Structure 1
Amino acid sequence: MLGLLVIIVISWLLLHVIEKKSMKVLGILPTGKRIIQFLLGTLFIMLVTLLNIYVETIVLNVDWKMQTSINYQLVFDAFGYHIKSALTEDLVFRGAILYILISRLGVKWGILISALCFGVYHVFSYGMTEAGVIPILYVILITGFTGFVWAYIFHKTKSIMLGLGLHLGINLINVFFFESQPYGELFFEATKNTKLEDWNWLWFNLFKGLFPSLVTLVFVRQYLRFSQKRSKKI
Structure 2
Amino acid sequence: MLGLLVIIVVSWVLLRVIEKKNIEVLGIIPYPKRVAQIGLGMLFMMLLCLLWIVIETFVLNVDWQLNKDINYALIFDAFVYHVRSALTEDLVFRGAILYILINRIGAQWAILISAIIFGVYHVFSYGMTSESFIAIAYVIFITGFTGYVWAYTFHKTKSIMLGLGFHIGYNFLMTMFYESNPYGQLVFQELSKTTLIDWDLLFYLLAKGLFPSIVTLLFVKYIIKSKYKFFGIEQINRDENATN
Q: Distance in 2 between matches of 1:39 and 1:145?
A: 22
Q: Which moved more, 1:31-40 or 1:209-218?
A: 31-40
Alignment partner, residue 188 of structure 2: 188
User: One-letter code of the match for 2:90?
Assistant: D
Q: Distance in 2 between matches of 1:67 and 1:227?
A: 44
Q: Distance in 2 between matches of 1:184 and 1:87?
A: 20
Offset at residue 228 of structure 1 (A):
7.2
Change (3 A) 1:31 1:215: same
Superposed CA offset, 1:161-218 (max 9, x none): 0000000000111000000011000000000011110100000010000000100011
Alignment partner, residue 242 of structure 2: none
Q: Which moved more, 1:19-28 or 1:218-227?
A: 218-227
Q: Distance in 1 between matches of 2:21 and 2:181?
A: 37
Change (3 A) 1:118 1:135: same
Q: Distance in 1 between matches of 2:199 and 2:220?
A: 31
Runs of 5+ consecutive residues of structure 2 not aligned to the other structure: 239-244
Offset at residue 32 of structure 1 (A):
2.4
RMSD between aligned residues: 1.2
What are the within-5 Å matches in structure 2 for residues 67-78 of structure 1?
67-78=67-78
Alignment partner, residue 127 of structure 1: 127
Runs of 5+ consecutive residues of structure 1 not aligned to the other structure: none
Change (3 A) 1:7 1:137: same
Change (3 A) 1:181 1:227: farther
What are the within-5 Å matches in structure 2 for residues 168-179 of structure 1?
168-179=168-179
Offset at residue 16 of structure 1 (A):
1.0
Give the 3-state SS of the residue equivalent to 1:64 in structure 2: strand
User: One-letter code of the match for 1:134?
Assistant: I
Offset at residue 227 of structure 1 (A):
5.3
Change (3 A) 1:50 1:228: closer
Change (3 A) 1:37 1:56: same
What are the within-5 Å matches in structure 2 for residues 36-185 of structure 1?
36-185=36-185
User: One-letter code of the match for 1:121?
Assistant: Y
Count of residue correspondences? 232
Change (3 A) 1:2 1:151: same
Alignment partner, residue 209 of structure 1: 209
Give the 3-state SS of the residue equivalent to 2:226 in structure 1: helix
Q: Which moved more, 1:13-22 or 1:181-190?
A: 13-22
Give the 3-state SS of the residue equivalent to 2:183 in structure 1: coil
Give the 3-state SS of the residue equivalent to 2:74 in structure 1: helix
Superposed CA offset, 1:90-115 (max 9, x none): 00000000001111110111000000
Q: Distance in 1 between matches of 2:21 and 2:179?
A: 41
